[in-house]
């Protein structure tokens, strides 16, 4: 049997190698499989110059803290020059750090200081659009043809205004296509299937789209040469228009990945796609399961409060959720991705609510959620502050485009990091009225200093989970995952993580009352607790009996 397993494994590796060769890709850098990411929203992390806005020097100051979590990779939200109508996702200069964050030299120093600590730094690349105040777009508006006339998408007549096009007073006769907000004109990468009745829709091989493509690679080369380790690409599937099957989109990203790895083979390309199976096929190395795409992540974590509130989710005390949609989509993504890249299920990000939202507001509840995030077959990503239970703050004003469709406010997940018990929480010495966003107003708000000294804190629990994962091969990216109890509208949730030598059982009960189940797993004589709170697993001849108290978690090593 073992000989057959080895032959099968070698065949799978051979097929995977052929797939990579077919795409012409070099392998994903080895460090990616061992990555533990920490996402930083720069304006809310740490302010060192007293203006109430976080900066790059603040990130450098806190690198040792970040490293203490067990993290070895950073993703920074956009830090380039911007009008900040969409929190930096409306760039006016891709080659220059926004003055409120510091200078280019500060960012170079961040790269160097991170590298000294064995950490990698990935930048947020807004590839599909610019600000409407970008010099390229200002040139593109002019009546006389110039180098930027075809670098954006314009109709050829101002009386023609299809959906998603924006009119205004321009030198040229036409309206431009927006990519998201009206202040974000879409860069022209061409149309996969130009409509003959729309003569402004250029093919991807036209001069304008080809120059846009070349400029994108030039931007990437610039920052990689300065020390960046890769990019998370905003709205990655949106660049080429009218491409329902993503044929031309895939070709674009194949070209970009090959270009990037030919010059910087250790660099990484991460997608904001929300569909890892498709993103990895397009050439990305990692993509996130988040609120985009199928209703999977949302069904697990979005409760009554947050950017996208909903009536029920699985990680909630009232037990009205179900894990089945998540499990189905997650397992499908793992299968589609295979050995060609990675899936990441983050604790949160800047676009949707944190785990600490609404009625999910106790340390024990957050420990159950953190156990889930850190034991999946997923590249871990902690959104800044989630390791201390930073709360989603509701009812904040629209800040730099945080409000979507007049009802979905992202500001509550972008509030300042809370470092200590001082009036400004150690975030800034500025007057609090000048802070980028308000702090949590609670008297006993979570903060790093208090949690550092508390062995039972969420901060120290997160560190413990990361240490355990690093020390346990079966819990890492080489381990298999199998959901052994994930029934519709049922609790607890249970899955195994295993390799050829070891099997671990993870049991999670976010429900506000006790729950039990029988798991059909033969051949195990005992379930030895590794990291457990209020769960008992008893081994029988053909099954495992699980008894979980309310709001409990457990990681057990199964012994034969």
Domain-embedded: residue 16? no
**What pLDDT digit, counting tens, does each position of 384-426 carry?**
999 999 999 999 999 999 999 999 999 999 999 999 999 999 9
pLDDT band for position 9 (cuts 50, 70, 90): very low
Residue 176 is predicted with a pLDDT of 98
- Six-digit token string for 10: 């070698």
| Whether 344 and 464 share a structural domain | yes
Q: Considering its fold, how many domains does the chain have in total?
A: 3
CATH of the domain at 355: 3.20.20.80
- Nearest CA to 558 out of 512, 504, 516 is that of 504
- Domain-embedded: residue 23: no
Q: What are phi and psi of 267, to 5 degrees?
A: -85, 160
Are 102 and 55 contained in the same domain? yes
Residue 243 domain boundaries:
29-131+208-470
Residue 21 has pLDDT above 60, yes or no: no
Share of the chain above pLDDT 90, in %: 94
pLDDT tier at 293, thresholds 50, 70, 90: confident
* Per-residue confidence band for 4, with pLDDT thresholds at 50, 70 and 90: very low
Both 345 and 291 in one domain: the answer is yes
Question: pLDDT for 134-145, tens place per residue?
Answer: 999 999 999 999
Tell me what pLDDT residue 22 has: 57
- In this prediction, residues 374-380 reach a mean pLDDT of 98
Three-class SS state of 552: strand
Confidence category of residue 374, pLDDT binned at 50, 70, 90? very high
CB atoms within 10 A of CB 147: 11
Tens of pLDDT, residue by residue over 22-41, are: 567 999 999 999 999 999 99
The pLDDT of 528-554, averaged and rounded, is: 96
| Mean pLDDT score, 207-228 | 98
Element (H, E) at 529: strand 526-539
Note whether 496 and 360 are same-domain residues. Answer: no
Kindly report the average pLDDT of the chain as a whole number: 95
Identify the pLDDT of residue 73: 98
What is the pTM assigned to this prediction? Answer: 0.95
User: In this structure, is residue 203 part of a structural domain?
Assistant: no
Task: Give the CATH number of the domain where residue 146 resides.
Answer: 3.90.400.10
The whole-number pLDDT of residue 16 equals: 43
pLDDT at 222: 98
Residue 194 belongs to a domain:
no
- Secondary structure E strands in 77-118: 80-82, 91-97
């Amino acid at each position: 049997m073992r000989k057959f397993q080895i032959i099968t494994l070698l065949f799978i590796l051979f097929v995977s190698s052929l797939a990579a060769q077919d795409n012409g890709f070099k392998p994903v850098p080895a460090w990616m499989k061992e990555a533990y990411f920490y996402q930083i929203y720069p304006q809310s992390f740490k302010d060192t110059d007293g203006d109430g806005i976080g900066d790059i020097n603040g990130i450098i100051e806190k690198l040792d803290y970040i490293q203490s979590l067990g993290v070895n990779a950073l993703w920074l939200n956009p830090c380039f020059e911007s009008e900040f109508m969409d929190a930096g996702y409306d760039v006016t200069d891709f080659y220059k750090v926004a003055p409120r964050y510091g200078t280019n030299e500060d960012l170079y120093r961040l790269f160097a200081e991170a590298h000294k600590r064995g950490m990698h730094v990935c930048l947020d690349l807004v590839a599909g659009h610019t600000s409407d105040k970008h010099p390229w777009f200002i040139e593109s508006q002019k009546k006389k043809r110039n180098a930027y006339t075809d670098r954006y998408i314009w109709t050829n007549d101002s009386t023609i205004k299809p959906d998603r096009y924006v009119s205004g007073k321009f030198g040229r006769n036409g309206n431009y296509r927006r990519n998201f907000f009206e202040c974000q004109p879409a860069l022209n990468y061409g149309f996969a299937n130009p409509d003959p009745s729309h003569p402004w829709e250029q093919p991807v091989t036209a001069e304008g789209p080809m120059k846009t493509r070349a400029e994108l690679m030039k931007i990437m080369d610039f920052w990689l040469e300065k020390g960046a380790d890769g990019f998370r690409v905003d709205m990655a599937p949106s660049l080429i228009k009218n491409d329902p099957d993503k044929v031309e989109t895939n070709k674009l990203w194949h070209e970009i990945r090959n270009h990037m790895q030919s010059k910087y083979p250790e660099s990484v390309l991460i997608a904001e796609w929300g569909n890892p199976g498709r993103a990895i096929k397009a050439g990305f190395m990692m993509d996130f399961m988040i609120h985009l795409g199928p209703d999977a992540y949302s069904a697990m974590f979005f409760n009554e409060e947050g950017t996208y509130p909903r009536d029920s989710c699985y990680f909630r005390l009232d037990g009205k959720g179900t894990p089945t949609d998540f499990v189905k989509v997650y397992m499908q993504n793992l299968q589609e991705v295979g050995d060609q890249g990675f899936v990441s299920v983050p604790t949160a990000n800047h676009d949707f609510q944190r785990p600490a939202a609404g009625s999910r507001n106790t340390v024990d509840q957050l420990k159950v959620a953190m156990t889930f995030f850190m034991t999946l077959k997923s590249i871990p990503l902690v959104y800044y502050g989630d390791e201390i239970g930073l709360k989603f703050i509701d009812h904040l004003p629209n800040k730099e485009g945080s409000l979507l469709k007049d009802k979905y406010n992202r500001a509550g997940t972008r509030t300042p990091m809370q470092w200590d018990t001082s009036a400004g929480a150690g975030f800034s010495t500025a007057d609090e009225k000048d802070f980028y966003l308000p702090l949590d107003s609670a008297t006993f708000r979570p903060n790093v200093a208090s949690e550092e000294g508390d062995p039972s804190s969420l901060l120290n629990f997160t560190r413990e989970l990361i240490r355990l994962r690093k020390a346990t091969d079966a819990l890492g990216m080489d381990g298999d995952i199998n959901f052994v109890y994930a029934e519709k509208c049922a609790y607890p949730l249970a899955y195994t993580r295993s390799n050829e030598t070891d099997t671990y059982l993870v049991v999670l009960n976010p429900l506000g009352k006790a729950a039990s189940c029988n798991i059909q797993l033969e051949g195990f004589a005992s379930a030895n607790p590794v990291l457990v709170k209020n769960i008992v697993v008893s081994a029988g001849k053909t099954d495992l009996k699980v008894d979980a108290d309310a709001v409990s978690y457990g990681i057990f090593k199964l012994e034969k």
